């Protein structure tokens, strides 16, 4: 089955800096890669996703890149703000299969 | 996206008892899932709740421990049976977007503590 590795496990940045979280996956048939943000005590929220027919997708301050050859994808957050502090999870799936999640990255943005 | 609610939001239970968690969606959805999130951990899929048939369980999860019902396209229940302290977790349901079932949206979760 699919295996998703996520790094780093924790990431501390200063407000205004950029943050990058990386994930690798094992199943070359995977074609959908979402990112979830989970604030303390809240539900995971889908913040951005990418499908395998696209190399990059942006939504305001967040972007996701996908390298199918290397089987890795990354979340980029620019101009970080304290409200970006949360745990971020990457995931992967193949059509008709279920999501496999990474272990999560705790992002702390200091003012 | 669909509005998803869960009941109860939290509970404290004694070992050996069972708890049934409800998940209600405000629109009909084909795909519903149940996840467990142990303290400080990632999301682990327990099972896919299938309407009109038995749930599909992931490796390590069995029907006797986690029976699931899915009587219609807007509702599902997960029961945690014969609980032990190791079952203390957050249990979340999620629904898949229609025609794009891999896009999942989560309910608020049920925080379960077993003493």
pLDDT digits (tens, 9 = 90+) for B41-55: 999 999 999 888 899
The predicted model gives A21-49 an average pLDDT of 96
Angle at B27 between CA B3 and CA B112, to 5 degrees: 50
The answer to whether B9 faces chain A, any CB pair under 8 Å, is no
Does residue A26 surpass a pLDDT of 70? yes
**Class of residue B58 by CB neighbours under 10 A (exposed 0-12, middle 13-18, buried 19+):** middle
The predicted model gives A29-58 an average pLDDT of 94
Return the pLDDT at A96.
Answer: 67
Enumerate the residues of chain B whose CB falls inside 8 A of the CB of residue A89: 42-43
Integer Cα distance of B32 and B38 in angstroms: 20
Q: Give the A-side interface with B, CB within 8 Å.
A: 32, 34, 36, 42-46, 49, 89, 93, 95, 97-99, 101-104
Measuring CA to CA, which residue among A32, A61, A60, A59 is closest to residue A48? A59
The answer to whether B107 faces chain A, any CB pair under 8 Å, is yes
Return the pLDDT at A20.
Answer: 98
Does residue A97 surpass a pLDDT of 80? no
Q: What is the pLDDT of residues B59-114, one digit of tens each?
A: 999 999 999 999 999 999 999 999 999 999 999 999 998 777 688 999 999 999 99
Give the DSSP letter of residue B85. Answer: G
Measuring CA to CA, which residue among B88, B73, B77 is closest to residue B7? B77
Give yes or no for a cis peptide into A8 (omega within 30° of 0): yes
Query: Do A44 and B43 lie within an 8 Å CB cutoff?
Result: yes
Q: Which residue has the tokens 């390298």?
A: A67
Asked if B81 and B64 count as a contact pair (C-beta separation under 8 A), the reply is: yes
The predicted model gives A7-30 an average pLDDT of 97
Enumerate the residues of chain A whose CB falls inside 8 A of the CB of residue B43: 44, 89, 101
Q: What is the pLDDT of residues A45-90, one digit of tens each?
A: 999 999 988 899 999 999 999 999 999 999 999 999 999 999 999 9
Integer Cα distance of B102 and B88 in angstroms: 27
Confidence of residue B2 (pLDDT cuts 50, 70, 90): confident
Residue of B nearest to A31 (CA): B102
**Class of residue B39 by CB neighbours under 10 A (exposed 0-12, middle 13-18, buried 19+):** exposed
Integer Cα distance of A33 and A49 in angstroms: 6
Rg (CA), chain B: 13
Selecting from A89, A93, A104 the residue whose C-beta is nearest the C-beta of B102 gives: A93
Query: Residues with Cβ < 8 Å from B60, sequence gap 6 or more?
Result: none
The number of C-alpha atoms within 13 Å of A80 and in the hemisphere containing its C-beta is 21
Does residue A31 surpass a pLDDT of 90? yes
Percent of the residues in chain A that have a pLDDT greater than 70, as a whole number: 99
Does residue B1 surpass a pLDDT of 80? no
Measuring CA to CA, which residue among A85, A105, A66 is closest to residue A14? A85
């Amino acid at each position: 089955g699919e295996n998703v590795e996520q790094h780093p496990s924790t990431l501390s940045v200063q407000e205004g800096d950029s943050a990058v979280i990386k994930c690798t996956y094992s199943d070359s048939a995977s074609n959908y890669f979402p990112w979830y943000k989970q604030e303390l005590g809240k539900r995971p929220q889908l913040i951005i996703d990418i499908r395998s027919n696209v190399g990059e997708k942006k939504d305001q301050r967040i972007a996701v890149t996908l390298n199918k050859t290397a089987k890795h994808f990354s979340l980029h957050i620019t101009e970080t703000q304290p409200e970006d502090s949360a745990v971020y999870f990457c995931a992967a799936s193949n059509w008709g299969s279920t999501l496999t999640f990474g272990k999560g990255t705790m992002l702390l943005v200091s003012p | 996206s669909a509005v998803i609610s869960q009941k109860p939001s939290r509970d404290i239970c004694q070992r050996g008892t069972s708890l049934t968690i409800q998940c209600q969606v405000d629109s009909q959805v084909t795909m519903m899932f149940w996840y467990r999130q142990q303290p400080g951990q990632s999301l682990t899929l327990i099972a896919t709740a299938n309407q009109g048939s038995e749930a599909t369980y992931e490796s390590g999860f069995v029907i006797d421990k986690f029976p699931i019902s899915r009587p219609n396209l807007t509702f599902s229940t997960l029961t945690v049976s014969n609980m032990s302290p190791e079952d203390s977790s957050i249990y979340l349901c999620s629904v898949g977007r229609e025609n794009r079932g891999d896009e999942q949206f989560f309910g608020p979760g049920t925080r379960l503590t077993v003493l």
